[in-house]
Structure 1
Amino acid sequence: MRNGRDHRSHQITAVAAHVSKWTERRLVLALLAALLLVLLFLSCSRGSLSPSPFRSLPLFSSPSAGDTAHMLERIGGRKRELERSRIAICLVGGARRFELTGPSIMRNLLEEFPSADIFLHSPLDKDSYKLSLLKAAPRAAVVRIFTQNTMPTTESQERVLTANGSPNRIQGLLQYFNLVEGCLRMIKSQESKGNFTYDWIIRTRVDGYWSAPLDVINAFQHGTYVVPSGSRYGGLNDRLGVGDRATSEVALSRVSLIPRLDAAGFRQLNSESALKAQLTSSKVRWEEIGVPFCVVSDRLYGYPPGPYGVPVVSIGSQGQLSGAKCRPCEPACTGQCAADVGAALDHGWGWTEWRDDSLQICDPSGGWAPGWEHIFDRVAGPEAATARKSVAELDMATCVDDFEIMRKKAASWEAPPAVEVCRLGLPGQTNST
């Protein structure tokens, strides 16, 4: 009996030892699993914001087929919803580099919303003839190309606004504000004539180069005015805005709301801080999102940009540039150099998204380099290159014909005769028609 008890005791001891070892192994495995989950979480939370050792794995290099299908379904549903909405697209500003920006606006904005009404508000100058590219636009509601005159300033405007950072001082701000609010007046007139109200208003600049379409999931939010992230310059990025009718009314009233800002005690505002003041004083919510466009600029800036400098990026940068200044260039700073510059930029000033590793920075201390046309053609693609060359080779007769095509599409047209617009930019040519 004793031997039997000893045998059973030995078995129990062996089993207990085995269980103990398995328990220890399970604890070790559990700790390892927890550690792996923490690493995976950190990698996912960093996403595309910084390099990660896991990003080379398929799990992190791209979303799954199911995730992609779900996102495409959401985008498709949102687009169908927007197709049933009345959308106004405001294009404002001068046409200095429209041979570069126009085709991208057409492809990534106007053609993405083919049922939207286009409102063009642009000052007449030697580059206005380039606007003839809009002959291919799906729709045109109102076109106004006008001669800019000096705007008288009021005491409240001089108190509220600052000339700092504006190349044409307060007058430059007022002219820009008038372009924006003028587009709102054009929209109101169209609404009154048709006895309807637009559901959404997209306001952007004529000098914006778009590398991809607008994010329809995040850009259209009822009760919230959506602006690009970065390039805040002490306020909110004012190079693009998307909002419903009510929020857009506030955001686009750039001149008429200045007395309210004055009464509220706002002083020495630039364009960006004035926009923020308009929204906050009117209790309008805003949200910042990444937007794939940049503003093509000929201006000279210091290089490399300091914390409060203005970064000028290559037009070939594929990230969410959100209205940063850009030009066609061979980048002077990429990779770690661009990351160092981006990290040093003040977040409330000229900050531009750099964490997706796509930022390419130009040296804007001099003019555009010889051969920039080839750089642009390579980056923008054959269709945009063809459009650029067509503007460079445009003759008087074709220019006039193109404007006539535009005029026939528009519900309202306020502009000098096409011959006058074309002659201003094509000196020495005569109309052979």
Structure 2
Amino acid sequence: MLKSPRKLVTPFTKWVSDSSNWRLTGLIIPLVLFLIFFSIHSSTLNGFAAFYPVQQLISNLPFQKAKNDDAWKNEVLRSRIAVCLVGGARRFELTGPSIIDMILKQYPNSDLFLHSPLDSDSFKFSLLKSAPRVAAVKIFYPKPLPENESYVRVLTAHNSPNGIQGLLQYFNLVEGCLTMIKSHQEKNKFTYDWIIRTRVDGYWNAPLGPDNFVPGKYLVPPGSSYGGLNDRLGIGDLRISTVALSRLSLVPHLDSAGYTNLNSEAAFKAQLTILNVTHVMKRLPFCVVSERRYDFPPSRFGVPVAAVSSPGPLSGAKCRPCKAACSGLCVENVMENMEREWSWTDWEKGALELCDAHGGWEKGWEKIFDRVAGNKYAAARKRIESMKMGACLRDLVQLKKRSAHWSAPPLDHICTLAMTSP
């Protein structure tokens, strides 16, 4: 009796035989044959290749995209990255640990640069002793900056808590961080591939992903644009970041170009425009913790204040720990009436819950934050809240030892300023 010939089973034929895959196979096989045909007859098909190259067809396949995503992730992880952190310490006990976890620890070749004015909260930067790599810390005595005619023409004091002086101080913080980065590069004879510029008061509820590093473009969050571009975070390569972070020195160039009456966001957009820097917007999982008070519910040109419990991404919207006063349909009604080019932020699919921020932080906000942030971040908050002089000095000494460059007032002065403040 003759036996039937044995079927040759390969991984491919087994995959094809799976009923869940046969439809996809029916699409892939003709495409593969199509590509083979065009590769064989490429000499007669130059016109088509110029219009839509075979390589372009391959790169658009789903499995190829996944491969490219993985390759890009690995390239970003290998890159040298400078993380520029600017601003006053304020509520750093709430935001600092998330910056360490969600940015610094995500990228093994990232170096931290901190640029901040001295105040009674500066001791909170002692939390950075657990940052993976600290390149430079500069905590300085703040002093007024000159307001020349160019600054007064280009900038507006409207909606700035400290007028034009407040804008100049902020611009100086950002550009000063760039100066620190350049100095570190020159000293160590290398250049960074990327610069992440973010704020001390940013609370992150998810990691900053590699897809936010976009070659040849400067990444900013959408929303909170106030007639310009959201300037609460930016990511770009060294060349583009040099343009984006030169906030103070580019004001005279804006003046020469005829710009007037600009707020921070509008000035930021203008400086990218005059130097031909293309920007791209992507939603990002952070909010800016604020103690400022705003009308509730926000009007068309008001400011929505998100609850830190909001799933997000909040892309740098103002936030505070609160029991949400508005969610679901309430948020939809509020946000649909807000001016999209002003303080608007993404709210669809339950991403946003709103606080009633017309008064101060509500009683019991600590428990709200601890519940949302988790035990690790709650422990950091409690450590700062109960910190004594000895612990303050020990932690700052550790941070100083781990910093490649340190420029700050005496450590005992930083701690004494905190312990004696009301």
Report TM bin, short chain.
Answer: 0.7 to 0.9
Q: d(CA) in 2 for partners of 1:292 and 1:276?
A: 22
Aligned to 2:230: 237
Aligned to 1:156: 150
Mark the CA change 1:268 to 1:188 in structure 2 (over 3 Å): closer, same or farther: same
Higher Rg? 1
SS in 2 for 1:260: helix
SS in 2 for 1:275: helix
Aligned to 1:51: none
What amino acid is the match of 2:319?
A: C
SS in 2 for 1:143: strand
Count residues with an aligned counterpart.
Answer: 362
Match of 1:268 among 261, 267, 272: 261
What amino acid is the match of 2:78?
A: R
What amino acid is the match of 1:86?
A: R
Pairwise CA distance, 1:72: 7.8
Mark the CA change 1:401 to 1:204 in structure 2 (over 3 Å): closer, same or farther: same
Question: Is it true that 1:248 corresponds to 2:241 in the alignment?
Answer: yes
Q: d(CA) in 1 for partners of 2:304 and 2:188?
A: 44
Aligned to 1:355: 348
Pairwise CA distance, 1:269: 0.3
Pairwise CA distance, 1:427: 2.1
Q: CA offsets per residue over residues 47-90 of structure 1, 9 Å max, x none?
A: xxxxxxxxxxxxxxxxxxxx999998666543321222110000
Q: d(CA) in 2 for partners of 1:156 and 1:223?
A: 30
SS in 2 for 1:235: coil
Give the unaligned 5+ runs of structure 2: 1-60
Aligned to 2:31: none
Equivalent residues in 2 for 1:83-162 (5 A)?
A: 83-162=77-156
SS in 2 for 1:121: strand
What amino acid is the match of 2:393?
A: V
Aligned to 1:5: none
Equivalent residues in 2 for 1:41-60 (5 A)?
A: none
Aligned to 1:403: 396
Question: Is it true that 1:215 corresponds to 2:209 in the alignment?
Answer: yes
Match of 2:325 among 329, 332, 344: 332
Q: Does the aligned pair in 1 maintain the 2:311–2:350 contact within 8 Å?
A: no
SS in 1 for 2:361: coil
Question: Is it true that 1:172 corresponds to 2:158 in the alignment?
Answer: no
Match of 2:278 among 276, 281, 285: 285
Q: Does the aligned pair in 2 maintain the 1:101–1:207 contact within 8 Å?
A: yes
TM-score normalized with structure 1 length: 0.81
Q: CA offsets per residue over residues 292-326 of structure 1, 9 Å max, x none?
A: 00000000111110111110010110111000000
Question: Is it true that 1:379 corresponds to 2:376 in the alignment?
Answer: no
Percent identity for Structure 1 against Structure 2: 56
Q: Does the aligned pair in 2 maintain the 1:235–1:272 contact within 8 Å?
A: yes
Q: d(CA) in 2 for partners of 1:394 and 1:161?
A: 41
Q: Does the aligned pair in 2 maintain the 1:339–1:357 contact within 8 Å?
A: no
Aligned to 2:186: 192
What amino acid is the match of 2:154?
A: V
Higher alpha-carbon deviation: 354-363 or 74-83: 74-83
Aligned to 1:20: none
Question: Is it true that 1:81 corresponds to 2:72 in the alignment?
Answer: no
Pairwise CA distance, 1:215: 2.8
Give the unaligned 5+ runs of structure 1: 1-66, 429-433
Aligned to 2:16: none
What amino acid is the match of 1:308?
A: F
Mark the CA change 1:188 to 1:349 in structure 2 (over 3 Å): closer, same or farther: same
Cα RMSD over matched residues? 1.8
Q: d(CA) in 1 for partners of 2:251 and 2:159?
A: 19
What amino acid is the match of 1:108?
A: M
Aligned to 1:308: 301
Q: d(CA) in 2 for partners of 1:106 and 1:249?
A: 24
Q: CA offsets per residue over residues 122-153 of structure 1, 9 Å max, x none?
A: 11000000000000000000100001100011
Q: CA offsets per residue over residues 202-239 of structure 1, 9 Å max, x none?
A: 0000000001011321x111210000010000000000
Q: d(CA) in 1 for partners of 2:377 and 2:311?
A: 16
Question: Is it true that 1:257 corresponds to 2:273 in the alignment?
Answer: no
